[in-house]
Amino acid sequence: MPIRYQIESCQRTFQKGYSHFIYQTPVWKLPGKALGVNCDQVWLKLEQLQTGGSFKARGMLNRLLSNPIPASGVIVASGGNAGIATAAAARELGVRCEVFVPEVASPAKRAKLVALGAEVVVLGAAYADALQACLARQQQTGALLTHAYDQPEVVAGAGTMALEIEQQAGLPDAVLVSVGGGGLIAGVAGWFERRSRVVALEPVLAPTLFRAREAGRPVDVAVSGIAADSLGAKRIGDLAWAATQAHVGDALLLSDESIRAAQLWLWKELKLAVEPAAALPLAALHSGAYQPRPDEKICLILCGANLDPATLA
């Protein structure tokens, strides 16, 4: 089934029985000048208001609804957000959830996992380490594996957010999307195709898509930096690689300094508390990495808000 049909089907499922769990998050339209940007409008898709504090709830619920869940429940490896989303979906459906997180996962995210009733295993320095341990555990228990970004149901769930943007506001000229393993951009690009310009954004210290494009194929990269707990995959997912090859022209890199500055700007100027991964789209505009036309309407996806509020001081 083509990805656009999968996305539409997923949205119908959410609307029919899970509108209390998957919210239609707002699109906030502002003049470009309000954000210090020389363009007509900036649209903020406030997905940090989603259940579990990130867009991930869409894909994880779709994964669970699309498959039989054994008595051993569900299992996932995550830097935090995918685990939180899986735990929230598991609680909604009344099933057991086990989450493997790396040491880089923030205390705030670990605490949220525990509050959601998940069994949390902290293992390894990076997401890839937690993933290997998770896969070994899944072989033992037979639990349903939820991948943080590289499953069709997860990508289609993420794509419902792009469908919402079009329903709420129309087609933007450009959509700026943070990339880790690539589930979000795979869904966004799969929906918009090239009807809107989809721009991939990564930290300099976690350049999975950028390095894959240099090599001509997905490759492992070292990841670190301010957004590593969300954008910490060491390799772009196969689904994201295919979607970005087909529908994404630009893949831009941003410094940790520009990401942090944008995160603080969103808090101080608009009172939007988001994690570093959600600040990349504004960082691309403020740093000049992405230079819009004066007549452009640009959509920034604020993808998550699982952070310690003290970090915004």
Quick: pLDDT tens for 21-50. 999 999 999 999 999 999 999 999 999 999
Question: Is 45 within a domain?
Answer: yes
Q: Give Cα 37 distance to the centre of its chain.
A: 24
- Residue 127's pLDDT band, with cuts at 50, 70 and 90, is confident
Same domain, 89 and 194: no
- The count of structural domains within the chain is 2
Same domain, 210 and 134: no
Question: Is 313 within a domain?
Answer: no
At 106 the three-state DSSP class reads coil
Q: What is the pLDDT of residue 254?
A: 98
Average pLDDT estimate for 194-219: 97
SS3 content of the chain, % helix, strand, coil (to 5): 50, 15, 35
Question: Is 312 within a domain?
Answer: no
Question: Is 162 within a domain?
Answer: yes
> Domain ends where: 115, 146, 177?
146
- Residue 210's pLDDT band, with cuts at 50, 70 and 90, is very high
> Domain ends where: 88, 114, 146?
146
Sheet of 74-77, strand order: 119-122, 97-101, 74-77, 144-146
Predicted structure pTM score: 0.94
> Domain ends where: 146, 168, 185?
146
At 3 the three-state DSSP class reads helix
Which range (70-84, 190-204, 206-220) has the least confidence? 70-84
Residue 227 sits in a domain whose CATH number is 3.40.50.1100
Statement: residue 107 has pLDDT above 90: no
Same domain, 201 and 259: yes
Same domain, 185 and 129: no
Q: What is the pLDDT of residue 160?
A: 98
Share of the chain above pLDDT 70, in %: 100
Provide the CB-side half-sphere exposure for 35 (13 A, CA): 35
